[in-house]
Structure 1
């Protein structure tokens, strides 16, 4: 007699065999050799890694603001030979007034941000707008005493981003300075070729009694007059417009020994041309002219324009300690 049949075996779980053989089945259906599939997978992995690396690099470049090549400061790294540190424009912090030197008026930290939405100052007028900041000593029982002031042309700064910068204060404006007027000009220096370009743009605030004003540009070397240029005269206006350019050849080894003096001349009540006021720039200047000169040397090949208040002629001459050339005596004198 045979034994009764046992209970039927449990059926295999549905889907186990199908899932375990899904990928091999798909690979078996592709009419390509296995080495080709491996090569395609490796190439796809390399392409994905390259794309991720490019995205990371782009993000890093946007986060790190790179400085334009034309705005690199004049330094000693690219200058070889006998050039030393005294041939480079010093920082404004390192310039101190010695005995008989120009007085320093301190520095002021500013934060600038331009609202492109409201545009209270229209974007066409922004390059011709100057920010005027005055520091006053508060006095309750009398008029506030001015301690210094700053004139910052907005056309010389980049307002695309929020800016925080330290600016050198100049002497407070006086009634005499306001009557003298202001002069706007731009400077550009190329260390490689030694070309110093001065563009006399315009003047304003001149007295209506002055006739035929013009600008005389003098370049001094070691406190002696070296080279002189002048613009053409303008008639019948207190705000003459010149827009004339002059180029001087100043080697990089002499840039620390020169002074640039711009003066407005005009015919007054004496019917002869006399200096109305002057502006002196260079390492021996102070306040706003010194800051303008430092900015020009710190940003080679870039033209920087700025308004300057004219100072009395005798005051500028005494500050520079001019050594006039001796005139040879005429025969028979």
Structure 2
């Protein structure tokens, strides 16, 4: 109080009041910014009483879960697909992910992966580009600083209302055994596993093995017989350990979903796919329909409803998120 009085001792009452309000406003904004930063980037422990059966059924049992971001992606009734594969992803693998992701996101599928370079990061990145939600499961401590090249994606996952989680607190360094341990978690929290590309001894085969143990559906993309990163996926298919899929429709059928469910899923998930797509920049109705693969009649109906709710507005032929 003494400091405040001294600061305004030679100031008229109205000017003093206005200056005090200005200081208060700046302080409020600063405090709010700190709270938002803490809410997004500070990790939390996921209380065990809130764990679902998908987490409790993981073996060896999970002791702790630490997370940043939207934990509802793990606890909510979302269809979750783990996309795994080689760190030496080829152009073929990248194109498969790009070609199929739009319909997967349109059907409300949350994409789960392991945040490593190659197939993992391609899955996270493409999912967000299509306006979807993604879960990154780490093989190291939840608060360990990621590599410089990964910072942008890490932050974008959180900014896009995604989820980052780990069994390990703080700055624990990755070890050889932490990645297979991570793989069992990915298999446990997902409804199905898609192996895009995998070599003969790929860690993705470990994820597939756990998925079979948990009675989850294991799906695999066939690859060229001359490709080293197709030896694992082709073996999964040939041995009957995985079912061959050649389109996003095959995946949705295996997960008992369809793109036609989009209108129901939009209602269930608070219009996330459309709003997420409009977060970066406004888009025409044709762009929205093309990217999210929604029937035009359904899309126009939803956009009208969202406009009435004040969630979007149409200006100069484009839809903007409000």
Pair in the same fold by TM > 0.5: no
TM-score when scaled to structure 1? 0.26
From the CA coordinates, give the structure whose radius of gyration is larger: 1
- Which protein is richer in strand relative to its size? 1
Is the helix fraction higher in 1 or 2? 2
What's the TM-score, normalizing by structure 2?
0.26
